[in-house]
Amino acid sequence: MDDNSSTTTIISKTFGGLNKQYYFREFFFGIMILVLFPGASFIFGNSKPTPSTAAFFIINTLLYPYSRYAYERITRFIIGDNIFLASIIVMVFVKLFFMLLCWVGAIFIAPFGLLFLYIKHTHLDDSNP
């Protein structure tokens, strides 16, 4: 396999590895965080974001779906099929907290999601002759 084909395969197994519906849903939430996060900063008296901060915000938004994928995979591994009963209000705040945490840490968490996707799609390719 040549280098170009190998690179294309890696990109398709990682960045192209999410279900389109899942990707666009999480990307939508990432954009919402992108819009609200700088807005909240401006409301509380901070100046406009610097170019490096703006780049960080954009990179985190682009990587957010892969960050959420990693978070959900790890959570599913730890929790399994257990069901927890809690107040809907508490659960909404917990969900929002972890969404924000995944967005802020996307640049660090997303590589794990991309690795999970690569392994998943490589395994699927190996099991289908």
User: Is residue 87 a part of any domain in this protein?
Assistant: yes
Q: pTM of the prediction?
A: 0.81
Tens of pLDDT, residues 107-117: 999 999 989 88
* Domain assignment of residue 51, given as a range: 3-66+77-127
User: Is residue 51 a part of any domain in this protein?
Assistant: yes
> Which ranges of the chain does DSSP label H, i.e. alpha helix?
3-14, 20-43, 51-79, 88-104, 106-127
Rounded Cα distance between 87 and 102, Å, is 22
Rounded Cα distance between 55 and 78, Å, is 33
User: Is residue 113 a part of any domain in this protein?
Assistant: yes
User: Is residue 71 a part of any domain in this protein?
Assistant: no
The structural domain count of the chain equals 1
Q: Quick one: pLDDT at residue 108?
A: 96
User: Is residue 72 a part of any domain in this protein?
Assistant: no
Tens of pLDDT, residues 50-59: 788 778 889 9
User: Is residue 18 a part of any domain in this protein?
Assistant: yes
Tens of pLDDT, residues 60-88: 999 999 999 999 999 999 988 888 888 99
Which two three-digit tokens encode residue 81? 């099929």
